[in-house]
Homo-oligomer: A and B are copies of this chain.
């Protein structure tokens, strides 16, 4: 058997400890599969004494992750610190500059600096691998870069944030409101104390920006992602979605359009008959549509120590198997050839819309709403007002045929000003899948 692959791990939180555990538990299996042992030579973390359930005696300890990146023995640096800048970025840049391979689970880093880091890696003949950064244990980075590489893809989309999917699933199943379910998710550890990164769609946007680059061969373009979160989804919307034949999911969608690549993260109504509608709880799913392959769906656990460790170690096995030689582009094409991002602005989006209005039930309201939509050339597909309650507040729900985002937004701005409106109109896009 060839010489072992020596790695150093920066960051021993939940994921880092998971990676150590996996490498220990499956040391023989991994050696058999890749013809080398993978040996952890050095680690760094904030607290040396914390019990991580894994023996790290005999492993070189660095207090300073940047120093670890320069460890002369390490062939690969595994960066599990997180964050778009700061130490994580320093560690990765230092390692790549030294010609070492980098394996990371850091989606923020890749979303902000993916193209730059890829150029650095490839110029040094080093591998920058990041399977764990998107959709946890699902090997979607590999699928897009390799398995589906013969296709021109038209669209990639998915459920990219398990916290949001858990909240939306639980809201539907238990018929409770967002705030209450979020509080419960925080107690259960499915949501952070500060949940905004997840529930406002930022995390999903990071992952989508990475998928877009892999799918379309464009430089990672986080700024081009239109982002909306799930705070405004109410259990009323979930009930109406059900009635209309939909489920509400937070999707990240990247699509080739005549104006460039459209990237957007927002709540969507998806038809109940589609695979994505059945992906519930903390599961993630990514769907790719290619001209030869058709639709391919990948579903699995999107987070957690186990799935993330599975992805990190898969990257290590790839490196161990390929030897010192970089064989693959970091994204879809060699970094020097990544096309400049050409994002299609959200104003140019065309699609169908669901709109919920909370109105005082009195004569003429619907006529005013209909006039506002007509003035912006928005064509209504359906209108639902269940029950009558003269003088009281009732929900009125509309769905549109395909229409332009800009016109819809102008119509909603007008509708918001109508005297009978007692809440801002709520809009959810209907996604044909």
Task: List CB contacts (< 8 Å) of A298-323 with chain B.
Answer: 298-301, 306-307, 309-314, 316-318, 321-323
Interface of A: prevailing SS = mixed
A310: chain B residues within 8 A (beta carbon): 148, 150-151, 290, 292-293
A201: chain B residues within 8 A (beta carbon): none
Proximity string of chain A (124-154) to chain B, C-beta cutoff 8 Å, 1 when within and 0 when not: 0000000100001111001100111111100
Judged by a CB distance under 8 angstroms, whether A295 is at the interface is yes
Distance to closest chain B CB from A199 (angstroms): 24
Judged by a CB distance under 8 angstroms, whether A158 is at the interface is no
Judged by a CB distance under 8 angstroms, whether A337 is at the interface is yes
Contact of A294 (CB < 8 Å), options: B35, B137, B278, B333: B137
- Chain A contact-residue range equals 35 or more
Judged by a CB distance under 8 angstroms, whether A29 is at the interface is yes
Pick out which of these stretches binds chain B: A187-195, A203-211, A324-332. Answer: A324-332
A321: chain B residues within 8 A (beta carbon): 327-329
Contact call B150/A26, Cβ cutoff below 8 A? yes
Contact of A150 (CB < 8 Å), options: B151, B292, B296, B317: B317
Contact call A296/B293, Cβ cutoff below 8 A? no
| Complex CA–CA separation, A40 to B325 (angstroms) | 27
Contact call B293/A306, Cβ cutoff below 8 A? yes
| Complex CA–CA separation, A147 to B135 (angstroms) | 13
Judged by a CB distance under 8 angstroms, whether A334 is at the interface is yes
Taking each of A152, A294, A325, A327, which has the highest tally of chain B beta carbons within 10 Å of its own beta carbon? A294
Select from chain B the residue with minimum beta-carbon distance to A280. B273
Q: Spell out A's residues near B (CB within 8 Å).
A: 18, 22, 26, 29-30, 32-35, 131, 136-139, 142-143, 146-152, 217, 275, 278-279, 290-301, 306-307, 309-314, 316-318, 321-323, 325, 327-329, 332-334, 337
Q: Assuming A139-B146, A293-B301, what are 17 further A-B pairs, CB within 8 angstroms?
A: A26-B152, A32-B217, A33-B149, A33-B217, A34-B149, A35-B334, A137-B148, A139-B148, A149-B313, A150-B309, A150-B314, A150-B316, A151-B310, A275-B275, A292-B310, A296-B298, A327-B327
